[in-house]
Amino acid sequence: MLNPNGDIILIDKPLRWTSFDVVKKVRSQLKVKKVGHAGTLDPLATGLLILCTGKKTKEISKIQELEKEYVTTMVIGATTPSVDLETAIENHKPSNHITREDILELAPDFTGTISQIPPAFSAIKVGGKRAYEKARAGQAVELKARQVQIKELEFLQIDIPTVTFRVVCSKGTYIRSLVRDFGEKMAVGAYISALRRTRIGNYRVEDAAGITDFMPSS
């Protein structure tokens, strides 16, 4: 039953769906005109996407301010232009000399208030166009550094060249920038092979509906 004053809907976004794809599907199935999301997820990311309907769309900006939690798998020893698998893997470098201790020693450099430059493949507008539109067209993209806060950084599994970690961060943090900078610090490069948003504030992906819940019944 829809709330006439609007709803906050938690969705576990599937792989390769854009955030707007999810908005369109939910809008169509619920037959409500006013639906918005509180924070984009890249097509190759999965996990918690919060949708607001009706009058609840007024809460979107407040939800966007909340801290986020992600679980990320990065591969070291190569890069991609998009820092994920949207683009081809390149710049292969040996990484077998890097140890678990080397990675753990870098953690303090990426904890607390840090400066990061958003990835070229991002939705930030540059000269009236989205940065990713310019990047996909092969145009140079210059973005300014910004201050973000990494509140927690926990390494869950280190099996070189694959490293899985959990990060709790502030609004505006780009996990792709974090991985890119981590790879540069190790001098071998890195890219994301999997990214999942698990929490926004007190909203958790475990409580989210699957997109199939909004598919027409056969």
In whole angstroms, how far apart are CA 193 and each of 77, 93, 148, 161? Answer: 13, 17, 23, 11
- Cα dihedral: 125, 152, 184, 94 (round 10): -130
**Angle, CA of 31, 35 and 40, to the nearest 5°:** 135
Of these residues, 12, 42, 84, 181, which one is catalytic? 42
| Residue 44: partners with Cβ closer than 8 Å, 6 or more residues away | 15, 16, 84, 85, 86, 192, 195
| Residue 136: partners with Cβ closer than 8 Å, 6 or more residues away | 121
CA separation for the pair 103, 193 (Å, rounded): 18
Query: DSSP strand E in 6-80: where?
Result: 8-13, 35-37, 45-53, 68-76
Q: Is residue 148 within 8 Å of residue 172, measured between CB atoms?
A: yes
**169 Ramachandran zone, left/alpha/beta (phi>0; psi -120 to 50):** beta
Query: What φ, ψ does residue 68 adopt, rounded to 5°?
Result: -120, 155
**Matching residue, tokens 């430059």:** 117
Q: Is 7 a catalytic residue?
A: no
Catalytic residues: 42
